[in-house]
Chain A
Amino acid sequence: MSRKKTPKSKGASVPAASALAAANGPRLACPRTAHPGPDAPPNGPPQANRPSLGGGSDLYDVAFKVMLVGDSGVGKTCLLVRFKDGAFLAGTFISTVGIDFRNKVLDVDGVKVKLQIWDTAGQERFRSVTHAYYRDAHALLLLYDVTSKSSFDNIQAWLTEIQEYAQHNAVLMLLGNKVDSAHEHVVKREDGEKLAKEYGLPFMETSAKTGLNVDLAFTAIAKELKQRSMKVPSEPRFRLHDYVKREGQGNSCCRP
Chain B
Amino acid sequence: SPERAQESRVRVPRVDPYGFERPEDFDYAAYEEFFSAYLVILTRRAIKWSKLLKGGGRVQKSMTVKRYVRKGVPLEHRARVWMALSGAQAQMDQNPGYYHRLLQEERDPSLDNAIRTDLNRTFPDNVNFRKTANPCLQKALYNVLSAYGQHNEGVGYCQGMNFIVGYLILITKNEEESFWLLDALVGRILPDYYSPAMLGLKTDQEVLGELVTMKLPAVGALLDQHGVPWTLLVSRWFICLFVDVLPVETVLRVWDCLFNEGSKIIFRVALTLIKQHQAFILEATSTADICEKFKQITKGHLVMDCHTLMQNIFSEPGSLSMTTVNKLRESCRARLLVQ
Tell me the smallest distance from the CB of A24 to a CB of chain B, in Å.
Answer: 12
Give the docked Cα–Cα distance between A228 and B293 (Å): 31
The answer to whether A94 and B117 have CB atoms under 8 Å apart is: no
Instruction: In the A-B complex, list the 10 residue pairs whose CB atoms are closest, starting with the nearest.
Output: A38-B292, A98-B235, A73-B117, A95-B121, A42-B296, A125-B196, A95-B118, A97-B160, A123-B159, A98-B236
Which residues of A11-47 have CB atoms within 8 Å of chain B's CB atoms?
Answer: 23, 36, 38-39, 41-43, 46
Take A38-B288, A103-B288, A123-B114 as given contacts and tell me if A97 and B198 are in contact as well, using a CB distance cutoff of 8 Å.
no
Which chain B residues lie closer than 8 Å to A129 at the CB level?
Answer: 198, 201-202, 231, 235
Is B291 positioned at the interface, with any CB of A under 8 Å from its CB?
A: yes
A-binding segment of B79-87, B97-105, B277-285: B277-285
Between A72, A125, A126, the greatest number of chain B beta carbons within 10 A of the residue's beta carbon is seen for A125
**Chain A, Cβ-Cβ closest to B245:** A97
Which chain A residues lie closer than 8 Å to B125 at the CB level?
Answer: 92
Chain A residues packing against B (C-beta within 8 Å):
23, 36, 38-39, 41-43, 46, 72-73, 91-99, 101, 103, 116, 121, 123-126, 128-129, 132-133, 150
**Chain A, Cβ-Cβ closest to B130:** A91
The answer to whether B292 and A42 have CB atoms under 8 Å apart is: no
Further contacts, 20 of them, CB under 8 A, given A94-B124, A125-B197: A36-B289, A38-B288, A42-B296, A43-B277, A43-B279, A72-B114, A72-B159, A95-B118, A95-B121, A95-B159, A98-B231, A98-B236, A99-B231, A99-B235, A101-B288, A101-B291, A123-B114, A123-B158, A125-B195, A133-B232
The answer to whether B299 and A42 have CB atoms under 8 Å apart is: yes
Take A38-B289, A46-B283, A92-B125 as given contacts and tell me if A97 and B236 are in contact as well, using a CB distance cutoff of 8 Å.
yes
> Can you report 26 residue pairs joining A to B where beta carbons are below 8 Å apart?
A38-B289, A38-B291, A42-B293, A43-B277, A46-B283, A73-B118, A73-B121, A91-B120, A93-B121, A93-B124, A94-B123, A95-B118, A98-B236, A99-B231, A99-B232, A101-B288, A123-B159, A125-B158, A125-B197, A126-B198, A129-B198, A129-B201, A129-B231, A129-B235, A132-B229, A150-B113
Which chain A residues lie closer than 8 Å to B160 at the CB level?
Answer: 97
